[in-house]
Amino acid sequence: MGFEFLLLILMLAIFALSVFVGKFPIGVSLALSSIVSALVAGYGIPIRHLVEGTFAYLDPILIIATAMIFMEIIKATGALNSLSRLIIVNFYRRPFLLLIFITFFIMFPGMVTGLSTAAALTTGAFVAPALMQLGIPQVKTGSIIAMAALYGMIAPPINIPAMIIGGGVDMPFIGFELPLLFATIPLAIFTTLMLGYRHIKATDPDQILRDFPASEASEKRIRVYLPIIVLITLMLASRVFPNKYTTLGIPLIFVISSLSAFRSGKPFNYYVVAKKAISEAMPVMGILAGIGMFIQIMTLIGVRGFLTVSTLQLPSLWLLVGIVISLPLFGAISSYGAAYVLGVPFLLALLGHQEIIVASGLTLIVCLGDLMPTTAFAGIFRAQIVGESNYGRLLKICAPYALLTALYGIGMIVGANWLGKFLIVK
C-alpha cells in the first residue's frame, strides 16, 4: 500500500469528518483537508500553492456570480413570472407542447448559471403550482423539476463540471454546444413527458387565468424580456461571428444583460438584488475555491498522479462500471469535486475517444450527485417547493430516470468517436 494511497485516504477522511461531524461548509472542509494533507506529506503549509489553487477556477466563479445576479434581476422585474404565464395560458389545452415548453423553462436558469439549485428556486418554484393545478401529483411535480434542473445544469451554454474537467486536461470549453444538447434535451423531454403527460387533465380556462393573472410587467410585452433577448443575442453573436468585437467574456455578457433590465419591467434595487444573488451563490463559489485548493495540493503531494495511473490501469469494463458508481456517489458531497477528482482521471483513461463527447457524457453522470443523499441539493429543494416532506418518495420516482441518464452517458462515452462525426463542428 503506497504512501500516496494513504494520503488519498487521509484527504478524504478529513474532508468527510469536517463535513459530516464538524458541519463545516464544503469549501472550508476542502481547505482543511488540503492543509492537513500537505502538513502530513512534509510540505508544511504551502501558502503559494493554496493561493494558486483558490484562484484556479476564477472564471467559473465569475460566471456563477454574474449569472446569479442576472437571474435575480429578471425575477425581480417580473420577466420570469410573465414568461411562465405566457407558456401556461397559451399551451394548457395542448399538454404535449405545454410540458416541452415547461421543461425548457425550468432548465433555463441551470443553463445560464451552471447550477441546478438556481432552476429550483426560480423557474421551478414558478411552475410547480401550475403543474399541480393541471393534475400532476406533487411528488411527480417535484421529480419533473428535479430532473429538468439537473439537465439544465449540464446543458449549454454554461456547464461548470465540463469546465472543471477541461481545466484539468488543458481542454478549452469550446465546441461543447451540440454534444451537450444531445446529452440533455432528449432525456429532459422524455423524462417530463413520462412523469407528467398521463396526469394532465382538462382545466377550466377561467381558473387558469385566475391562478396566473397578468402583472404590470406582463403588460409591457416584449420590453420585459429585453435582458433575456440581449443575453441570447450576445451569446449567439460570440459563437456565430467570432471576432475581437463580438467575443465578449461570459461574465461581461451577463453584466451587460443585467444592466439592460433597468426600466424593462418592475422597478428594482440593483444593490439589494445583487447582494441577495451573491449570498445565494457564495456556497457554490466557496466550493469551487476549495476544489481548486484541494486539487493543487493533490498534485503537489502526488495523489493526483496516483489516481490517474490507477485509473489508467483499470480494464475497460471496470472503468465504465467505476464511472457509473463513483461519480454520482462522490457527487453526493460535491458534483464539482467529483468532476475533477474522478472526472479528470476517467477522461485521461479514455484518451483515444473523442474528448469533448467523453467529457459531455461524464458530466451527464456527474450531475446525478445532486440527487444523492446526504446532500441531495436538487431533490431536497424540489421536494420543499412542492410541499413534499418525504424526500425518499421523490428519489424513488427519480431513480429509474437517473439510471437511464447514467446509461445514456455511458452510451455517449462508448460511442464517442462515432458521435463525434456528427456533433463536433470542425
- pLDDT tens-digit readout, 191-232: 999 999 888 875 655 565 566 665 544 445 678 889 989 988
The DSSP code for 343 is: I
**Which pLDDT belongs to residue 395?**
82
Instruction: Look at the alpha carbons of 344, 350, 355, 361 in this order and tell me if their dihedral is positive or negative.
Output: negative
Residue 278 has pLDDT above 60, yes or no: yes
Residue 419 has pLDDT above 50, yes or no: yes
User: What is the 3-state composition of the chain as percent helix, strand, coil, each rounded to the nearest 5?
Assistant: 80, 0, 20
Compute the distance between CA of residue 102 and CA of residue 379 in angstroms, rounded to an integer: 18
**Which pLDDT belongs to residue 208?**
59
**Which pLDDT belongs to residue 378?**
46
- pLDDT tens-digit readout, 309-330: 787 787 888 889 989 988 888 7
Question: What average pLDDT score do residues 120-134 get?
Answer: 80
- pLDDT tens-digit readout, 39-74: 999 999 999 999 998 888 888 888 888 988 998 998
Question: What average pLDDT score do residues 331-338 get?
Answer: 74
The DSSP code for 121 is: I
- pLDDT tens-digit readout, 173-188: 888 999 999 999 999 9
Residue 303: pLDDT band (50, 70, 90) is confident
**Which pLDDT belongs to residue 379?**
45
The rounded mean pLDDT for the chain is 84
Compute the distance between CA of residue 403 and CA of residue 422 in angstroms, rounded to an integer: 25
Q: Is the pLDDT higher at 215 or at 291?
A: 291
**Which pLDDT belongs to residue 366?**
92
Percent of the chain with pLDDT over 90: 29
**Which pLDDT belongs to residue 203?**
61
pTM score, whole prediction: 0.84
- AA identity, residue 373: P
**Which pLDDT belongs to residue 244?**
61
- Give the DSSP H or E segment for 293: helix 270-301
H-type alpha helices, 57-137: 58-76, 79-91, 95-113, 116-119, 125-133
Question: What average pLDDT score do residues 371-377 get?
Answer: 59
Compute the distance between CA of residue 406 and CA of residue 237 in angstroms, rounded to an integer: 33
